[in-house]
Amino acid sequence: MDSVTVSTEMKNDTFMHCQSTADFGAVYMCIVMIIEMIVGLPVNLVALWIFCFRMKFWKPHTLFLFNLVLADFLLLISVPFRIDLEIRGEYWVFGQVWCRMNLFMLAVNRSASIAFMTVVALDRYFKVVHPHHCISRITLTQSGWLTGLMWTVVIALRIPLLTTNLLYQDGNVSLCRSFSSYNAVPLGLQVHYVAFIAEFFLPWLLLLFCSARIAFSLHKRRMDKQKRVRRAIRAIGVISLVFTICFMPSILTGLGGVYIKYFHPKDCNTYNVITHIFKMSIGFTYLNSTLDPFIYSFSSSMFRDALRSLISPLSFTKKNVRAASDTTNDR
């Protein structure tokens, strides 16, 4: 058997049980990602500036929120390359190494965002429902060690994206994808797929549990009217809402694609449609860094106060400029 035949068999063995068709979501993806850059970059730069220069002192949940900002910057670095990819009709021109790095950073952003959203929600849960528990009294040093452990686990789970060939030559087009129509999925990507699903369902169920327990506990103690308690409930609610909007669509459509592939493998039309819908649903994932500032505002009173102190002088300056303009016009 010659090398050409071996290469062809390996290619057929690894890629594409259904040939891809024209993508009808490219314009949508470009719009979503451009919005992400236009809105997400400024608001995250402001958030980063507030955390670095306007926070008078830090608490454990402040550290968790700060790391959520850092995770968002991984997405913001990666998105321009995905915009270029969509504009070129999915033709990846940046080579194999950067293909792996780009998909790695996108996946790490998703995993880290989920991890730190969940930890912030758990922090609120223990503060409200179990205020005397040792977890409620975690120190800043301990939270730093926990943060380091979380980053280690998140990065370790995504290492397969750096060690697997993710660039597929489809005719004259180089496709850079971590989710493709593989006949035989490489072991490294199987780990990636399992992590992709598990990191949604486990934290999502945990968030629902925390929300229900907080609401029940506070209602039982007749504390649901207190301002501080209402803020905690809103914080959990906002985290759950952002989490669901950003990550559930890609999970449901991804599982739909898996179902079609294994139970109706010859139905390539349906498979290709749901694959394109899955890709479009990834656009919601890209929006998480745009929505995360709502989590900062609802979860940290110190962040809200710092943001108000930043906005107030700007409003005062605008009023003065307007008043001066009115005075000049009156003359």
Tally of structural domains, the chain: 1
Return the pLDDT at 262: 78
Structural domain boundaries, residue 218: 24-176+184-299
Greater model confidence, 43 or 297: 43
Residue 156 pLDDT > 80, yes or no? Answer: yes
Is residue 311 situated within a structural domain?
Answer: no
Strands of the chain (E only): list them: 167-170, 173-176
Segment of 23-27, 139-143, 314-318 carrying the highest mean pLDDT: 139-143
Task: Please give the single-letter amino acid code of residue 135.
Answer: I
Distance separating alpha carbons of residues 328 and 174, to the nearest angstrom: 62
On whether residue 310 sits in a domain, the answer given is: no
Tokens encoding 187: 């072991």
Task: For residue 224, tell me if it sits in a domain.
Answer: yes
Q: Is residue 168 part of a domain?
A: yes
What pTM did the predictor assign?
0.81
Residue 325 inside a domain? The answer is no
Would 3 be classed as within a structural domain? no
Q: Do residues 108 and 74 lie in contact, with contact meaning Cβ atoms separated by under 8 Å?
A: yes
- Indicate whether 116 belongs to any domain: yes
Q: How confident is the model over 273-300, as a mean pLDDT?
A: 84
Q: Is residue 330 part of a domain?
A: no
User: For position 295, which CATH number holds?
Assistant: 1.20.1070.10
**Residue 47: pLDDT over 50:** yes
Question: DSSP string covering 131-200, please?
Answer: TTSGGGG--HHHHHHHHHHHHHHHHHHHTHHHHS--EEEETTEEEE-SS---SS--HHHHHHHHHHHHHH
- Is residue 18 pLDDT above 80, yes or no? no
For residues 282-304, give the mean pLDDT.
83
Q: What is the pLDDT of residue 223?
A: 58
> Rounded to 5 degrees, what angle do the CA atoms 241, 59, 114 make?
30
